[in-house]
Amino acid sequence: MWTWFYQLASPPHFYRMSHALVPWLLGLSLVLIAVGTYGGLVLAPPDYQQGDAFRIIYVHVPSAYLGSMIYVTMAVAAGIGIIWRIKLAHAVAASCAVIGASFTFAALVTGAVWGKPMWGTYWEWDPRLTSFLVLFFLYLGYMALRSAYDDLAKADQASAILALVGVVNVPIVKYSVEWWSSIHQGPTISKIGMPSITGDMLWPLLVNIAGFTLFFLAMLCIRVRAEVLEREFNARWARELLRGGAAGGVN
């Protein structure tokens, strides 16, 4: 019953599986992002208060969602790596960091661009903004800690502990607008009851969230493949793969 789990933890099996998945994930993500962006920028009506400025949500919201979600993924992978000593899990965690930091940075920038016309300033030390900035620094700290160790095993252990400790910030990011007084907009999709956004504005947002998520998965597969090859450089399967790649292209 658990055969699939052990196979998934096998670096050569994951390498071959991800090679087959990447084109599908990347192609579908680009189609969804194109559809969602067109629906958000062209088909959705202007907001009755914000006008066309609200359209930045079609990039900001998926980026912010992924910034938090990827950190949780990184922490879970790090925890699996520590508990079950699965090297591939550490490779996944390490690969998540750069991608998650990129989406978090994109959310901070797009939020600042939206905040200037709406709040009159690019930045406020608001609970949501501050906790999300902390999330960005946690990503940077994770990557800096990994690079501080020459020993890969020590880097995996130390960075995994930071990832697990830092994950407590994720619920703070999510519930900060409810726990403290905040100028940031409250929940619109995940609130109890009906979302406070009309259907013609909502469907492009959901499509973009799905597209961005698939794009993340494609990028994750690509980065994990590179991480696995670096870690398994001396393994027989990796040497054979690289020899085959030198002759006719790495698969």
pLDDT number for residue 106: 98
The residue behind tokens 């699939």 is 4
* Calpha distance 56→215 (Å, rounded): 19
Helix axes 87-119, 199-231, angle to 10 degrees: 140
- Residues 114 and 53: beta-carbon distance below 8 Å: yes
> Among 157, 153, 127, which residue's Cα sits nearest to residue 142?
157
Render each residue's pLDDT in the chain as its tens digit; 251 residues. Answer: 556 556 667 888 899 899 999 999 999 999 999 999 999 999 999 998 889 999 999 999 999 999 999 999 999 999 999 999 999 999 999 999 999 999 999 999 999 999 999 889 999 999 999 999 999 999 999 999 999 999 999 999 999 999 999 999 999 999 988 887 777 776 666 554 556 688 999 999 999 999 999 999 999 999 999 999 998 887 888 788 777 764 444 44
Q: Is residue 71 part of a domain?
A: yes
Q: Is residue 173 part of a domain?
A: yes
Q: Is residue 132 part of a domain?
A: yes
Reported as half-sphere exposure (CB side, CA atoms, 13 A), residue 35 has a value of 14
pLDDT number for residue 195: 62
* Calpha distance 92→202 (Å, rounded): 32
pTM for the model = 0.91
Q: Is residue 12 part of a domain?
A: no
Q: Is residue 143 part of a domain?
A: yes
pLDDT number for residue 202: 93
Q: Is residue 120 part of a domain?
A: yes
Max CA pair span of the chain: 62
Task: Domain of residue 49: give its range.
Answer: 23-187+196-243
CA of residue 154 relative to chain centroid, distance: 24
Q: Is residue 1 part of a domain?
A: no
**What is the count of structural domains for the chain?**
1
* Calpha distance 53→15 (Å, rounded): 43
Q: Is residue 2 part of a domain?
A: no
Residue 214 amino acid letter: L
Query: Which CATH number belongs to the domain containing residue 102 in this structure?
Result: 1.20.120
